[in-house]
Amino acid sequence: MLSQRQLFLNHLAQTTDFPLLLEVERAEGVYLFGPHGKKYIDLISGISVSNVGHRHPKVLQAIQEQLDKYLHVMVYGEVVQAPQVKLAARLSEILPKQLSVSYFVNSGSEAVEGAMKLAKRYTHRSKILSCINGYHGSTQGSLSLNGSEEFKRAFRPLLPGIGHIEFGNINDLDFIDDSVAAVVIETVQGEAGVRMADEMYFRKLRERCTTTGTLLVFDEIQAGFGRTGKFWAFEHYNVVPDILVCAKGMGGGMPMGAFISSPEIMNSLRSNPILGHITTFGGHPVCCAASLATIDIILEENLLSQVEEKSALFHQLLVHPAIHSVRSKGLLMAVEFESFPVLKSVIDKCIENGLLTDWFLFCNNSMRIAPPLTITLQEIKEACEIILNSIAALKM
């Protein structure tokens, strides 16, 4: 009989020539467990997904309670489903008042696609700007927005009317004019290796979009749901978008995404044509129940107040000549090494030593650190010890 790894290689579509091939039997809290009981600290949360840890009891309870009621009953937006209604209302409570209407989808890429359509429909414009080294997903529209040609050239032609500006460069805001439907921008650039812009930049961006009638779309797919130490990363900058996109940490481990806007903007999808955006499984009741539980966990367990202390401990401990720098916004962190080959050898050794980490798509010399927000200080110390010991074992 073929092993699980061989079946994986034979029958699952591969995305690289060197998959991690880490076999997972179960997960709990910040840990993954292999089939023979080996324990791994998950330092990336399934790429910023398991913000409240794997299989949080309150998430499991919410899922089980919904399983006992109903699963999929109808495409999105046609029948009243309590999990959707409760989640949308809860989101409106923790967002600025102009962001009060949610459209639920299955993933970040889908949320970006919906936001792009919404911006075009509302403004009656076709041009969209995003940032160099920005990442917004892998479907045709979201890929068009991405700011790395290396990941795009093999799939051209992509959407027309897409332009790119430099993240954090105030001078580039002049490219925003009355022909632009939307600027789609990450509040923290994730796949670029955790790159930040200051409050002044975001204020000027907001002003420019308001002046030109351009919709400002914040992509918080990685940075939202507490990852940066505030529930929404845009709270750091005192700027509110016209459309907010979220996913990943939103579902507590379940597939979930949303684009959120004002009633006025969102209502443009209701007519001319009707059903301006459609999804079959978006807002799945089980996923919505898990998401509602996730919000409550983040707020009730005061996870936001712990983020800065935990981030600071990583900074304090991750000191080694092979580490060139550590960049962070809360618990979204990038540990920079000399090159991808050097980093890849460290990652492989970390996995061997019981810790899962990764790199960034557009910054492959930096190690990704984005643990569950529930990680303890002791678990952080253990994780950093594994990283440093792995570096030492490679004699760097």
Residues 175-192 pLDDT 10s: 999 999 999 999 999 999
Q: Tell me how far apart the alpha carbons of residues 303 and 312 are, in angstroms, rounded to a whole number.
A: 15
According to the model, what pLDDT value does residue 2 have? 86
Residue 139 sits in the same domain as residue 10: no
Return the pLDDT at 20: 87
Average pLDDT of span 306-315: 98
- Out of 266, 300, 334, pick the residue that ends a domain: 300
Helices (H), the chain: 4-11, 45-48, 57-67, 82-93, 108-123, 140-145, 199-212, 263-266, 285-300, 307-317, 340-352, 377-393
Domain that holds residue 144: 57-300
Beta bridge partners of 238: none
Mean pLDDT, range 254-269, rounded to an integer: 98
Residue 131 sits in a domain whose CATH number is 3.40.640.10
> What pLDDT sits at residue 320?
97
Nearest to 113 by CA among 243, 206, 233, 242: 243
Contact between 166 and 147 under an 8 Å Cβ cutoff? The reply is no
Look over the chain and give the mean of its residue pLDDT values, rounded to a whole number.
97
Q: End-to-end CA distance of the chain, in Å?
A: 41
Verify that 20 and 167 share a domain, yes or no: no
Residues 249, 320 within the same domain: no
Q: What percent of the chain has a predicted confidence (pLDDT) above 70?
A: 100
Structural domain total, the chain: 2
What residue type is 226 in one-letter code? G
Show which of 268, 300, 332 is a domain's final residue: 300
Task: Decide if pLDDT at 156 tops 80.
Answer: yes
| Whether residue 294 is found in the same domain as residue 359 | no
- The pair of three-digit structure tokens given for residue 348, joined into one six-digit string: 């492989």
Helix pair angle (82-93, 285-300), 10° resolution: 30
Pairing of the two strands 180-186 and 127-131? parallel
Q: How confident is the model at residue 392, as a pLDDT?
A: 96
Whether residue 265 is found in the same domain as residue 348 = no
pLDDT (average), residues 324-341? 98
Residue 395 confidence (pLDDT): 79
Cα 102 to the center of its chain, rounded Å: 17
pLDDT of residue 18: 87
343 and 219 both lie in a single domain? no
Q: What does the pLDDT look like over 52-81, one tens digit per residue?
A: 999 999 999 999 999 999 999 999 999 999
Structure-token pair, residue 199:
């409050």
**Rounded average pLDDT over 116-130:** 98
> Do both 70 and 176 map to the same domain?
yes
Domain end marker among 272, 300, 328: 300
Query: Do residues 29 and 95 both lie within one domain?
Result: no
Q: Does pLDDT of 247 surpass 90?
A: yes
Domain identity same for 247 and 269: yes
43 touches 370 (CB < 8 A) = yes
Between CA 95 and CA 109 the distance in angstroms is: 21
Instruction: Kindly report, residue by residue over 347-376, the tens digit of the pLDDT.
Output: 999 999 999 999 999 999 999 999 999 999
> Of the candidates 225, 221, 203, which has an alpha carbon nearest to the alpha carbon of residue 115?
221
Same domain, 84 and 31: no
Residue 1: pLDDT band with limits 50, 70, 90 = confident
Q: Which of 43, 13, 17, 6 is nearest to 351 (CA)?
A: 43
What is the CATH number for 316?
A: 3.90.1150.10
Q: What's the pLDDT score for residue 178?
A: 97
- When pLDDT is averaged across residues 225-252 and rounded to a whole number, the result is 98
Tell me, yes or no, whether 99 and 162 share the same domain.
Answer: yes
Range 82-108 average pLDDT: 98
Q: What pLDDT shows up at residue 62?
A: 98
Q: How long is the chain?
A: 396
On whether both 147 and 164 belong to a single domain, the answer is: yes
Q: Which amino acid is at 32?
A: L
pLDDT above 80 for 396: no
Distance CA 157, CA 154 (A): 9
